[in-house]
Structure 1
Amino acid sequence: MARLGACSKARSMSSQSSPAEQASRIEFLARINRLAPLIPHYEAILEAMYRRVIAPGQCVYDIGCHAGRHTTPFLELVGPGGQVVGFEPIPQMAQRLRSLAAQHRNFTIHETALSNQSGKTSFAFATGTPEESGLIERQFNHPELAKVRQITVMVNRLDDMVTAQGLPDPHYIKIDVEGAELDVLDGARDTLARARPILSVEYGAPGYAPYGHQAMDLWQFADSAGYAVFDLFGYPLTTPEAWLTECDRGIWDWFLVPVERAAQIEALWR
């Protein structure tokens, strides 16, 4: 789930900041102020952005559906001629999503986690805060509420699922898996290279650090896969320095856009 911290404090200008960093932070604060009526509805900001790039008839992968917060808007956007493919490992959530699938013939749900390996594995089910559940126990926002219980779930590589299930190529992929996002991307390299979808990816230290990842890892993956990185507000982060200026400063959702479409998509977000 996307989250914002005390942005004005996190973005406070340092006397040691370069002019470029200062300009980036000023622009960031301006975008925050323009979106003030939406804060703290971070998921609404994410939805407002993807509504500009998903079209009727397209296919969306919802990786980490959870309660279906974005599944329903995805179904609306792709329409009856499109398709939404969901992935959710928590049995209780998957069961609820199957009820939604019964109402929408163009929605399929797969009860599995996604990563860069396949098989069965333990899963840290935070029964008190299920939205923070994951393959590895993350840094919880409220540890006293998490009440973690280890369960066993299936795990698959997305590339293998696409082949085995004959899934249509995605136009858009949402990945929100509480820290395992890079492992999901690693298991989806063939799909990304072939289909070139737009992605929204949650990425913040409380999630990725327990997996042994660092702030630059998402940027480096995007660069190696031919993707441009945008922040939650559609602002391009064109250098590693710009990325580090924003990563882990309170916003945890990012867009990855194929470089060949970056200018086109940026125009839609302006």
Structure 2
Amino acid sequence: MDETTFHTLLHRPGTLVDVGAHDGLITIPLARLPRSRVLAFEPLPAAAARLQAALREAFGVVPAHVELHAVALGDHAGEVALTMPVLDGIAQEQWASTAKDYATHLSDRVTVRQFTVPLRRLDDLGLADLTAMKVDAEGAEYEILRGARETLLRCRPVLTLEIEERHREGSSWAVPAFLDALGYEVLFELRGEWFPIAALDRATMQRASPDPSVFEASDPYVFVFYALPREEAAALLARLRGAA
């Protein structure tokens, strides 16, 4: 199951947050869900410009119920360095991160571009109706959730998260543990079956090179995780299984 399908099946009217919106792959489907308000966060300047253009192409204008925020999210307000590797002269936007600088991977093939971008906490927005959240931040997921702690406790949204050991060692342990402490069940889906995070074999399901110039990964490679409020997890998981 992909992230868009998950959010569509479990959609409730309210505010939906897309962290790491890039050029709108998930932002646009979220914006089409009924009675949705979408907050899209994309700090990389080129991607943010394409996101705005993609929304205009899809809807004619940037819809009034979609807000674009050219900022990074984290656990405090201020500024942060966003580092993007460049491989053989080609920007690797999907690897842009506020959590690492790629210094150990610099070579005649790999260079970096760095941007100073605004940093905000989701909690500072005071959201009262957050129903869903998607996070794809190349290693910064823990800080993003720390900065959203009060919102998660208050609103109990469902979440999808892309978590990869190659981007931040230990993150596939730390992020689920943080969510567990907030009363969330963290799951992954593989070949149509749903499993608790405890079933993740990191040695065989999360093995990938952290070097932007080396494209290799385990098969299967599990990196999308789903978080359900514990008090609703059984009913929500039944809905997901019923749609398979």
| TM-score class, shorter | 0.7 to 0.9
Which one of 22, 25, 29 corresponds to residue 66 of structure 1? 22
1:12-71 Cα deviation digits (max 9, x unpaired): xxxxxxxxxxxxxxxxxxxxxxxxxxxxxxxx723223221124x332100000011101
Match of 1:18 in 2: none
1:222 CA displacement: 1.7
* SS across alignment from 1:171: strand
Match of 2:206 in 1: 248
* SS across alignment from 2:130: coil
Match of 1:98 in 2: 52
Match of 2:235 in 1: 264
C-alpha spacing 1:189/1:269, structure 2 compared with 1 (3 Å): same
Match of 1:46 in 2: 3
The 5 A counterparts of 1:137-152 are 137=101, 147-152=111-116
Match of 1:220 in 2: 177
> What is the RMSD computed on CA atoms of the aligned residues?
2.7
Match of 1:157 in 2: 121
1:215 CA displacement: 3.4
Which one of 86, 90, 96 corresponds to residue 133 of structure 1? 96
Match of 1:15 in 2: none
Match of 1:13 in 2: none
* SS across alignment from 2:168: helix
Unaligned runs of 5+ in 2: 208-220
Q: How many Å separate the matches in 2 of 1:197 and 1:93?
A: 26
Give the letter aligned to residue 68 of structure 1: G
1:82 CA displacement: 1.7
Match of 1:3 in 2: none
Greater displacement, 98-107 / 174-183:
98-107
C-alpha spacing 1:121/1:221, structure 2 compared with 1 (3 Å): same
Find out whether 1:118 has 2:74 as its counterpart.
no
Task: State the TM-score, normalizing by the size of structure 2.
Answer: 0.78
Unaligned runs of 5+ in 1: 1-43
The answer to whether the Cα contact below 8 Å between 1:228 and 1:236 also exists between their aligned partners in 2 is no
Q: Which has the higher helix share?
A: 1
The 5 A counterparts of 1:186-225 are 186-209=146-169, 213-225=170-182
Q: How many Å separate the matches in 1 of 2:102 and 2:135?
A: 16
Which one of 112, 121, 132 corresponds to residue 172 of structure 1? 132
Identity fraction in percent? 28
Q: Which has the higher strand share?
A: 2
Give the letter aligned to residue 148 of structure 1: V
C-alpha spacing 1:182/1:82, structure 2 compared with 1 (3 Å): same
How many residues align? The count is 215
Q: How many Å separate the matches in 2 of 1:262 and 1:144?
A: 49
The answer to whether the Cα contact below 8 Å between 2:163 and 2:171 also exists between their aligned partners in 1 is no
1:232 CA displacement: 3.4
Task: State the TM-score, normalizing by the size of structure 1.
Answer: 0.71
1:116 CA displacement: 1.0
